[in-house]
Structure 1
Amino acid sequence: MIEPRMKMVLVTPEIPYNTGAIGRTCVALNLELILIKPYGFSLDEKSVRRAGTDYWKHVTLSEYDDWQSFLAARNPPREALYYFEEHGAQSLYAPEYRKDAYLVFGCESAGLPASVIGGQEDRVFHLPMLDRRVRSLNLANVATAVIYQAMRPQLGG
């Protein structure tokens, strides 16, 4: 039997560097990276590979044409979906993350569309920021902070 593992999901990512950096983190932690189209770049771009350095070839990558295709193919349980938005009602420290969690992030300029969250506001989390002058953080940085928090029990934390 295959051990369940967490997955990073990027919905319509726009910046190749962020996707490459998140892919590198996925390799480091043995996670699958799931990308939902459309992208703001080509996966063949040097900038994706540069950010992922020579690790990009080791990324366990799955792609879907849209959110509905992803849901139809994967059929993730509601309790396994964790959405991350700057205005999430709960902190990323609140949940106990499932080992088979899908950690879902939106595009850099607009975040997650309402059609993705779809009435699951209780599943939306944020990364706390103490200074309100900062509107948002870099997607790759937030994704890395989230995954390390989510995996703390598995990483000995």
Structure 2
Amino acid sequence: MSDPCLKLVLVTPEIPYNTGAIGRTCVALNLELILIKPYGFSLDEKAVRRAGTDYWKHVNLCEFDSWEAFLADRNPPRESLYFFEEHGAQTVYDPDYQEDAYLVFGCESKGLPKEILDGMEDRVINLPMLSPLVRSLNLANVATAVVYQAMRTKLGG
């Protein structure tokens, strides 16, 4: 399988187990993991390493002090940014993901900050939930589902 060039971006992640599990998925798929500070934990915590098992040392990790620092450094084209929120106007199945896509997820308790989403409403995507009994899904599960869908569409699946 070729290098997919997709990047997973976590904005102010709060739960070390989720970040560790997402890091493990990134290693499995040769993806870059971009973390935007502040975190709700230390990357040195056992929980991150435990969730990432012995794969954490292989994570292609890049950290930024803020969303603004990330934008200044990477300068991603608007069309390569995909924001995932439960109230997105389109579903994860709708976009044709760019080769260099940045798949952006917010923190577990609040999602993405309004100031990041302002003016990007057409770039906000949801992962459908069919039951009204469930308020939200686990961040690591959502990120994994999204990455595989993006890879499927990008690679002609």
Q: TM-score, normalised by structure 1?
A: 0.96
Q: How many residues align?
A: 155
Q: Is the counterpart of residue 84 in structure 1 residue 71 in structure 2?
A: no
What is aligned with 1:12?
A: 12
Q: TM-score, normalised by structure 2?
A: 0.96
Alpha carbons of structure 1 residues 57 and 124: separation in structure 2 relative to 1, 3 Å: same
Q: Is the counterpart of residue 142 in structure 1 residue 146 in structure 2?
A: no
2:82 is paired with a residue of what secondary structure?
strand
Distance in 2 (alpha carbons) for counterparts of 1:100 and 1:46: 32
What is aligned with 1:64?
A: 64
Letter in 2 for 1:8: L
Q: Which consecutive unaligned segments of at least 5 residues does structure 2 have?
A: none
| Cα drift, residue 116 of structure 1 | 1.1
Runs of 4+ in structure 1 over 2 Å off: 153-157
2:95 is paired with a residue of what secondary structure?
coil
Aligned alpha-carbon RMSD (Å): 1.2
- Pairs within 5 Å for 1:3-152: 5-152=5-152
Deviates more, 1:115-124 or 1:79-88: 115-124
1:151 is paired with a residue of what secondary structure?
helix
Letter in 1 for 2:52: G
Distance in 2 (alpha carbons) for counterparts of 1:40 and 1:129: 27
